[in-house]
Amino acid sequence: MTDIDTVVAWLRQLPDVSGGLVELEPGIDDARMDSWPVPVPEEIRVLFRSVGGIRVTMGDR
């Protein structure tokens, strides 16, 4: 497993271990990343294909 695969696996666990306080947004496809004005390195593409964003809800603890 590469470092980026480890990061993706860790991120995918967050919704479960956070008790619902973390939500993952759907991944971003290559066509959309290709439309950005800067080149996107392959490791970042792997990450963004899997997780397009992270939403954190602040809750009372």
Q: Per-residue pLDDT tens for 3-34?
A: 999 999 999 999 999 998 999 999 999 999 99
pLDDT score recorded for residue 30: 98
SS3 61: coil
pLDDT score recorded for residue 56: 95
Q: Look up the pTM and report it.
A: 0.77
Is pLDDT at 61 greater than 90 in this prediction?
no
